Amino acid sequence: MERILIVDDGRESRDFIADYILKPNGYDYLTAKDGREGLELAVKHKPDLILLDLQMPRMTGVEVLQALAQQNLDIPVILMTFYGSEEIAVEVYRLGVKDYVKKPFSVEEMLMAIERSLGDVRLRREKEALTERLIQSNRQLQRSLNELNILYSIGKSVTSLLDLDQLLPRIVEAAIKIADAEEGALHLVEDDGLICRALRKRGAGRATAAQTPVKDAFAMQVVSERKPLVYPPNSGERGASPAAAAPLILHETVIGVLEVTNQSSGSAAFSEHHCALLSALSDYAAIAIENSRLYQRLRENTEREKTQIVNTFGRFVSPGVVERVVAQPETARPGGESRAITVLFADMRGYTTLAERLSPQALLEVLNAYLSLAANVILSYGGTIDKYMGDGLMAIFNAPDAQPTPTHSAINAALMLQIAIQQMNTERGEQILFGVGIGAGEAIVGYVGTESAVNYTAIGDVVNVARRLTEAARAGQILVDDAVAADLPPAVTAKSLGELKIRGRVAPARAHEVAGTLPDA
């Protein structure tokens, strides 16, 4: 109901306006008998319209208008004047007068003037109301936009994390932020119960990972009903602590609950809007958790497969070569590099005799035992098993990994091999020995073969020389070429045996017999 203030020193005029114009037309009204009282009522009640007499005691109508302007009170005024005061009425328009009527006036005249003035007021108030609603809508839109931006950035952040101990606290931090909450927790469903996996208590700096069984009736209700819920304050066993929670659903299965609470006395309850935000975040969280679990399983499977590959192919190829191929598959393609290496060949002596007296199965067992012993000794000195050849093997040193003294390593491996063979012979009652040949020089080292089948090996004259030295070596003998003889480890000597004719090679090689003890022997 619109309120109109009548300011007139004539009682009859005030009563006439109130009884015959305002009351019948549903207006509320106030009356003042002079200008000062009228100003006080205008300041106190701020009416929608003032009907103001021009000539009054204590304060004239003009003085009232001037006082209203000084106090920035924008209240429309209808000035009531007698004939002959039109010039004054025109002047007071500058002070906020909207209209004027001349006394004496009829009911229709005054009512029309009131409707004209209030029409402007109504339009202005409608405009202000529309503007306020627009401002509120813009604010709400901005809040919604901010929430969407927060959810988007949070979604990008959490879905990029693969470690659960980092991911789950980040989700709790995000829930607290979007719900403007004091505390938060993320529980995962395990064995029909709940395990708190991330938590931030009130006053704590950041959320942390956890692994604590919890009994939370509200969270279990969320799991059971499979929908977001708001817990109102001052009800139930939770006392005055409001809470909101949303289920984490993956493949139609609830895998957890994301929960926020306020513990402060008199803290505000959460709304359905908070629930909607938590529900949106929980969708991101469920996907991120699934991604993390899939990544963890993939990593475990990959590591298991790598271990199986290394263990399986390490029986046939040097573990160092296998590990390098597993770590860098792109390197396992045909090609090689020139490199200074030391090559060692070892062949069993007495194999033909064994083959004559043993069954194939027994012969295979003996062969595997002695070749395994030889391979383990060579590997222990940093050698790489190139290949097995019937009752012998080939190994290279300084490839694929560099060694500080590859020649020393090869000679020490050969000496240790002869010692280990003697010990195995004593244990098994056999008379098997190895002939060993060692050469040093430049060779091409790398993968030889095709794109579908390659072998890590060495190619070069040094390989041929070492092979021929092995063929010339007697049981238990170690023969080396000039390059190896010139670079002997301490406590090792080499006796020259003269030239050795190499089949297919123009220049002969000089053979040296190695004798000595190991550094720690």
pLDDT along the chain (521 residues), means of 10: 91 92 92 93 92 88 89 88 64 76 87 87 80 76 67 64 79 86 91 90 86 90 90 53 89 91 82 85 83 79 70 57 62 75 94 84 90 93 91 93 94 95 92 94 86 78 93 94 94 91 79 86 48
Question: CB-side exposure of 442: number of CA atoms within 13 Å?
Answer: 2
pLDDT at 315: 53
pLDDT at 240: 53
State if pTM tops 0.85. no
SS3 assignment, position 497 = strand
Point out which residues pair with 98 in neighbouring strands. none
Is the CB of residue 97 less than 8 Å from the CB of residue 69? Answer: no
Distance, in Å, from the CA atom of 64 to the CA atom of 43, rounded to the nearest integer, reads 11
Give the tokens for residue 166.
Answer: 């980092």
Distance, in Å, from the CA atom of 444 to the CA atom of 277, rounded to the nearest integer, reads 65
337-343-348-352 Cα dihedral, nearest 10 degrees: 60
Phi, psi of 334, deg, nearest 5: -50, 135
Give the tokens for residue 408.
Answer: 């020393």
pLDDT at 310: 63
What are the start and end residues of each CATH 3.40.50.2300 domain in the chain?
3-126
From 272, 277, 281, 267, select the one nearest 182 (Cα to Cα): 267
What are the start and end residues of each CATH 3.30.70.1230 domain in the chain?
333-516
pLDDT at 233: 46
What are the start and end residues of each CATH 3.30.450.40 domain in the chain?
160-295
pLDDT at 238: 46
Point out which residues pair with 230 in neighbouring strands. 244
Is the CB of residue 48 less than 8 Å from the CB of residue 72? Answer: no
pLDDT at 236: 43
CATH 3.30.70.1230 fits 333-516, yes or no: yes
CATH 3.40.50.2300 fits 3-126, yes or no: yes
Distance, in Å, from the CA atom of 447 to the CA atom of 449, rounded to the nearest integer, reads 7
Amino acid at position 378, single letter: I
72-76-81-85 Cα dihedral, nearest 10 degrees: 60
Question: Topology of 160-295 in CATH?
Answer: Beta-Lactamase (3.30.450)
From 521, 518, 520, select the one nearest 412 (Cα to Cα): 518
From 436, 404, 401, select the one nearest 420 (Cα to Cα): 436
Distance, in Å, from the CA atom of 192 to the CA atom of 455, rounded to the nearest integer, reads 54
Is the CB of residue 480 less than 8 Å from the CB of residue 466? Answer: no
pLDDT at 492: 93
Distance, in Å, from the CA atom of 35 to the CA atom of 2, rounded to the nearest integer, reads 21
**Beta pairing, strands 243-250 & 28-32:** unpaired
Question: CB-side exposure of 128: number of CA atoms within 13 Å?
Answer: 6
